[in-house]
Amino acid sequence: MATILLVFIYIFYIGLGIPDSLLGAAWPAIYSELSVPVSYASFISAIISCGTVLSSLFSTRIIAKLGTPYVTVFSTSLTAIALLGFSCSHSFLWLCICAIPLGIGAGSIDTALNNYVALHYTSMQINFLHCFYGVGVTVSPYLMSLALSNNMNWRGGYKTVFFIQFAIVALSVMSLPIWKKVKQSQLQEEHIRVLSLSQMLKRKKIWASCGVFLGISSLESTCLIWGSTFLSESVGMSVDNAAALITFYFIGMTFGRFLAGMLTIKYSDWQIIFSGQIIIFVAIILLIIQNNVIITTIGLFLIGLGNGPIFPNITHLTPQLYGKDTSQSIIGIQMAFSNLSILLTPVLFGAVMTFTGIAAFPKFLLIMFLLMVSCTIILKVGDVKSRAKR
């Protein structure tokens, strides 16, 4: 029964990934039709990210009261309603309003499912979970492109994705009896101890953990937002080819998580995390010393390959690092810092770029990478000391 439930959770995580890359694919059609500046996409993205951050921070209290199964139903329903709202929108203001439930729904389900899988399943299974997220973010731009090419326009694309999300909502309702049976079969019921934000921020180890998630998400968001510009302006590629080659990051991320899932049979979470960081370092050095299309494309693929498995493996370690009763609260703040990084890091690099130019792209990635490695080492040292005291 636990395996059947895991299959459902994988499907829910595809639903989490689908909306994340949809706006970027649809935006060229949206802004031209609504007659708004191209830069206005950042307002919608910021609203979604703010909703996700707030939802992640308060999700522990909600999960403690409702439980993971009902939070999953509620969150997937919110995202489905938001996607339906996008498909019916005829103004920029309405898009901004619909972005609110989209962000709130994403933050709660992300936190709930990450903690549940970290507690009850293996490192392999949590890597596969995040691999399915990669499937979602890869599929949705393709669905939008089909809609745009078949004269359905961007609203048709959002409506298509709404029907997929609605089917996932139906599956989440159908899964409720399975959640109940699995819970009854567990030897002990999970107890959630809610920690306040002030309690968590007083612990240095939590700051280090949040720093790792800041690093992971800053690498990803900087590559996705500014990678095309680097390829076109610094490497000299055409704009359309530069946009297409950014998908190599997603391919690397998804493959990295699948490969890490297989490697967990032989290697520990820490070994996979540090191996991924070595791959990222090599990739960034390639971007710094070379400036041609092939090397840059390989570099982006390798950053995705190395960075992809770090998120799920650090998440899987969270109950071990902080205790099972507080892991839900810790994962909530980790998700919040991750989404805060997604919101702010591209803006930070945009400010840096006004003074240095796009050529600073790989050097900025190196700084974010060093932040992540430093915090990872602090966490590892703390874990070793904790084990020694037991």
Distance separating alpha carbons of residues 41 and 49, to the nearest angstrom: 12
Distance separating alpha carbons of residues 165 and 37, to the nearest angstrom: 29
**Residues 199, 170 share a domain:** no
Other Cβ atoms closer than 10 A to 201: 13
2 occurs within a structural domain: no
Distance separating alpha carbons of residues 340 and 323, to the nearest angstrom: 25
Q: Which domain holds residue 57?
A: 11-180
**Residues 170, 210 share a domain:** no
pLDDT at 80: 94
Region class of 323: left (phi > 0), else alpha (psi between -120 and 50), else beta: left
Distance separating alpha carbons of residues 45 and 307, to the nearest angstrom: 22
pLDDT at 187: 46
Q: Are 246 and 259 in contact (CB under 8 A)?
A: no
**Residues 167, 49 share a domain:** yes
pLDDT at 176: 94
5 occurs within a structural domain: no
316 occurs within a structural domain: yes
Q: Are 346 and 67 in contact (CB under 8 A)?
A: no
* CATH number assigned to the domain comprising residue 371: 1.20.1250.20
185 occurs within a structural domain: no
Q: pLDDT tens digit string along 263-309? A: 988 999 999 999 999 999 999 999 998 778 888 889 999 999 999 99
Q: What kind and span of H or E run contains 348?
A: helix 327-356
**Residues 19, 162 share a domain:** yes
The DSSP output letter for 187 is S
Distance separating alpha carbons of residues 272 and 250, to the nearest angstrom: 19
112 occurs within a structural domain: yes
Distance separating alpha carbons of residues 280 and 218, to the nearest angstrom: 13
Radius of gyration of the chain (CA): 20
Q: Are 200 and 329 in contact (CB under 8 A)?
A: yes
pLDDT at 5: 92
**Residues 352, 212 share a domain:** yes
Q: pLDDT tens digit string along 320-330? A: 888 887 888 88
**Residues 150, 225 share a domain:** no
**Domain-ending residue, one of 157, 180, 203:** 180
Quote the distance between the C-alpha of residue 2 and its chain's center. 24
190 occurs within a structural domain: no
pLDDT at 151: 67
**Residues 251, 108 share a domain:** no
Amino acid at 128: F
Which residues have a Cβ under 8 Å from the Cβ of 40 and sit 6 or more positions away?
31, 92
- The pTM of the full predicted model, rounded to 2 decimals, is 0.80
pLDDT at 16: 86
Q: Please identify which residue in the block is written with the tokens 């399943």.
A: 121
Q: Please identify which residue in the block is written with the tokens 């899932």.
A: 261
186 occurs within a structural domain: no
Burial of 151 (0-12, 13-18, 19+ CB in 10 A): exposed
291 occurs within a structural domain: yes
Q: Are 18 and 118 in contact (CB under 8 A)?
A: no
The total domain count for the chain is 2
Other Cβ atoms closer than 10 A to 28: 14
Q: Are 19 and 83 in contact (CB under 8 A)?
A: yes
Region class of 35: left (phi > 0), else alpha (psi between -120 and 50), else beta: left
**Domain-ending residue, one of 126, 147, 180:** 180
The DSSP output letter for 150 is T
**Residues 154, 242 share a domain:** no
**Residues 173, 49 share a domain:** yes
Distance separating alpha carbons of residues 119 and 9, to the nearest angstrom: 14
**Residues 121, 238 share a domain:** no
Instruction: Extract the residue ranges of the chain whose pLDDT is less than 50.
Output: 187-189
Q: 273 vs 136, 186, 216, CA distance in Å? A: 23, 29, 11
Distance separating alpha carbons of residues 31 and 273, to the nearest angstrom: 40
Q: Hey, what long-range contacts does 201-204 have (CB within 8 A, 24 or more apart)? A: 204/378
Distance separating alpha carbons of residues 260 and 310, to the nearest angstrom: 9
**Domain-ending residue, one of 180, 207, 235:** 180
**Residues 122, 58 share a domain:** yes
**Residues 201, 134 share a domain:** no
